[in-house]
Amino acid sequence: MRRVTVIRRLQRSGGTQSKAGGLTMLKIQVPFSDRKQQRKKRPRTLWKTMAAATVFIGHALFINTSSAAITLPGNYVDPYHQLVADAGYVEKTAQVNQVQLSYVEGPDNGPPLVLLHAQLMDWFSYSRVMPELAQHFHVFNIDYPGHGKTVTPANYPMNADQIGADLANFIENEIGEPVYITGNSSGGLLATWLAAYRPELVTSVLLEDPPLFSSEYPRITETIAYRAFRTSHEAATVDHPDDFLLYWIDGNADFFRNNIGVGSPFILKQTIKAYRLTHPNQPIELGIIKDDIVRLLLRGLDQYDPRFGAAFYDGSWNYGFDHATALMQITAPTLLLHANTEIMEDGTLNGAMSQEEADQAASLLQNGTYVKVAAEHVVHLDNPQEFLRILLDFFQPEEL
């Protein structure tokens, strides 16, 4: 198997020097043939975009399935539910200030590790790596406000300062000691907040493709994610739908009709309704959709509070949370993991960070390491084994 080695060097500005004397040199070995095969199996995943999700769902429903391969809505059970349970994980809730916080806790097999999923997802997005992580850590996998089964009051401020403060209270009261922490996407922004403003609670941090700088207003208006957040903003401020998932499908109906087929929105909605009849009060999981990222995105959307995305759309999510200032304040060892990205023909950013933004973020870290990985935005779903290798090598190198 041919393997490709990627090497990047970054000069840090300010802060303490790394063991390499202020330079980071990362060697990342990516199985080239494996990645090539993965690209053949499914289209390219776009960063946190509902429009991109429609591409995947369309392929899953009308191109990549056959009558022999289709799993009926009532029959499908994700095999990782059992694997996660067998690893010793238990779903719990904790009252944190005004928030009823939902989380999943693993067995006490090591130091505490906090997982913060991507926006639009929930804790189960980490299911592919949770069994292995349970062998090394005491895992706390949290549905932060706006996601999963976590419940917030109607007037809850959906911004980094409020959510970060509540997560800090959870760590203090429920865990009671400093934690290793990794967050993906918006979860990575929250991990950044915790490492910067509650450093006594953080041992080390892995930032999995966070939208640093690119999600700050007005820069966010130049990203493909901004188009997706418009749907959340309209739902939260104008339409107030009772069912956000079906509302989202209706909002993208023209795309489905034009690119997949006239009846495709109807088929997807009816499939969801059929699942709900046989699985009341359970998150949507459709076996007909073969792509893990898309299937778990639909699960997340089924539980998503559009106020969270609306706060990104109007810029209020980052009020008081300047990304550059926060990065400069982090003293804990920090790994910045940067996934695939591209600039579209019209200049729109399709990815969490441009290369320039990733380089800027890495340069501001006092004790930072930068890794560029050939994977999609949700690295722990797109390439679980590579994510585990990177995380364990960074958090527990003495055990390898």
Chain mean position to CA 35? 21
* pLDDT of the residue at 254: 76
* pLDDT of the residue at 256: 65
Please state the pTM of the whole predicted model: 0.84
* pLDDT of the residue at 70: 43
Burial of 396 by CB count in 10 Å (0-12 exposed, 13-18 middle, 19+ buried)?
middle
Burial of 120 by CB count in 10 Å (0-12 exposed, 13-18 middle, 19+ buried)?
buried
In which element (H, E) is residue 54 found? helix 50-62
179-184 and 112-116: which strand pairing?
Answer: parallel
* pLDDT of the residue at 94: 98
CA 290 – CA 65 distance, rounded (Å): 8
Q: How does pLDDT run along the chain (400 residues), one tens digit per residue?
A: 223 334 333 333 344 344 333 334 343 433 433 444 444 444 344 344 444 444 444 444 444 433 333 445 567 889 999 999 999 999 999 999 999 999 999 999 999 999 999 999 999 999 999 999 999 999 999 999 999 999 999 999 999 999 999 999 999 999 999 999 999 999 999 999 999 999 999 999 999 999 999 999 999 999 999 988 999 999 999 999 999 999 988 887 776 676 557 887 888 899 999 999 988 989 999 887 778 888 898 899 999 999 999 999 999 999 999 999 999 999 999 999 999 999 999 999 999 999 999 999 999 999 999 999 999 999 999 999 999 999 999 998 766 4
- Which segments within the chain are labelled E, that is strand? 3-11, 23-31, 90-96, 99-105, 112-116, 138-143, 179-184, 202-208, 334-338, 342-343, 349-350, 368-372
CA 305 – CA 150 distance, rounded (Å): 10
SS3 45: coil
Are the C-beta atoms of residues 387 and 380 closer than 8 Å to each other? Answer: yes
Return the number of other C-beta atoms located less than 10 Å from residue 277's C-beta: 9
* pLDDT of the residue at 216: 98
* pLDDT of the residue at 262: 81
* pLDDT of the residue at 184: 98
